[in-house]
Amino acid sequence: MSRPHDPQAVFNRYADDRRHTSIDGFRCEVLPHLTRYTPLVEGMEGFVVFARLPEREALDLIRREIEHFESLKCDFEWKVYEFDQPNDLMSRLETEGFSRGEGETFMVYPSSEARSEFTPRSGADICRVQDVARLEDIASVQQRVWSQDFGWLVAQLSEVLTEKPTELSLYCAYIGDEPVGCGWTSFTSGSAFAELHGGSVLDSHRGRGIYGDLYRTRCAEIAQRGYAWTAVDATDMSRPILERLGFERVCLTYPMRFHASHS
C-alpha cells in the first residue's frame, strides 16, 4: 500500500468537492463561508457544514445561522470538522447554545487500492437490495444495533432507490433468512468521493468478518464505478476495523446541535 495522503489536502479536496452538493428534501445554499441546508419537509432538521469563517466575523456568522433556523422554528446541526475555521469553532458554538454530540473520525480509502474481486470470509450471504420491500430488513438491523426507531429510514431509502437508483447501492447480509448486517453507498454524480453509510452488524454475529465483507463488496463497486475515493464517518467501534482494512484517518468531526425555540 502507498504511503498515507496528506490529511489537510484530502479534506480540502473533499470540502471543495461537496460544498455544492444538492440533497433531496433540502434547499442548498452555498454561502461565502459555509454551506447551509434548509429542510423542505416539516419536522426535518437542517444542517450547516464546511465552515471557513474569518476570525473577526465568526460570531456574527454563527448568530446569523441561529437566526435563520430560529425564524423557521427548525432545529439544526452544525457539522464541525477538525480543519474548519476558526480553530476554536466548537467552543464558540457551545458558547452560543450548541450541544456537542459524539465525535466520529472522517476516513478515506483510495479506490485504486480496492480489489475488484475477493473471496467472502464470513459465510454470510451479502445481497444487493434493489427491491423496496426488502428495505425493512435493513431498517430492522439498524433498529436492533442502535436501539432506535428507524421507521423513517425505509421511506428515505425507498425514495432514492425508486427515483435515483444510480445514486444509491444497498447491501444486506443474511445468515439463512435472518438479516444480520447491512450497509449502503451514496454515489454523487460528478464527485470524486463515494460515501459509505449504515455499516452495522448485530452483536450476536460480530467477529465473523461480516462487517469486512460488506465493506469489501461496497469498495469493489466504488472502484468499478470510477470514484477516486471511498469516504466514511467512522464511530469509535468501526474505526479500528477500517484502519486494518486500509482506511486513512483524515480528521475528527463532531455534530453540534442547536434546538430552536418552537413556541
Q: Where are the domains of the chain?
A: 7-102+253-258, 109-234
Q: Does 39 sit behind a cis peptide bond, omega within 30 degrees of 0 on the bond before it?
A: no
Which pLDDT score, from 0 to 100, does residue 263 have? 60
CATH fold of 7-102+253-258: Aminopeptidase (3.40.630)
CA 128 to chain CA centroid, Å, is 20
Tell which phi-psi region holds residue 190, choosing left (phi > 0), alpha (psi between -120 and 50) or beta.
Answer: left
Question: What burial letters (b/e) apply to 38-68, b meaning 16+ CB within 10 Å?
Answer: bbeeeebebbbbbbebeeeebeebbeebbeb
Give whole-number Cα distances, 252 to 11, 102, 105, 110, 182, in Å. 11, 11, 5, 19, 24
The pLDDT tens digits along the chain (263 residues) read 456 789 999 999 999 999 999 887 899 999 999 999 999 888 889 999 999 999 999 999 999 999 999 999 999 999 999 999 999 999 999 999 999 999 999 999 998 887 766 777 889 999 999 988 899 999 999 999 999 888 788 888 998 899 899 999 999 999 999 999 999 999 988 899 999 999 999 999 999 999 999 999 999 999 999 999 999 999 998 899 899 988 999 999 999 999 998 76
Which pLDDT score, from 0 to 100, does residue 97 have? 97
DSSP 58-72: HHHHHHHHHHHHHHT
All cell numbers assigned to 58: 465568526
Which pLDDT score, from 0 to 100, does residue 1 have? 47
C-alpha angle 65-260-236 in degrees, rounded to nearest 5? 80
All cell numbers assigned to 56: 473577526
Say if CB 111 and CB 230 are below 8 A apart.
Answer: yes
- Please report, in angstroms and rounded to a whole number, the separation of the first and last CA atoms in the chain: 56
What does pTM read for this prediction?
A: 0.88
Exposed, middle or buried: residue 167 (CB in 10 Å: 0-12, 13-18, 19+)? middle
User: CATH number of the domain at 109-234, please?
Assistant: 3.40.630.30
Matching fold, domains 7-102+253-258 and 109-234: yes
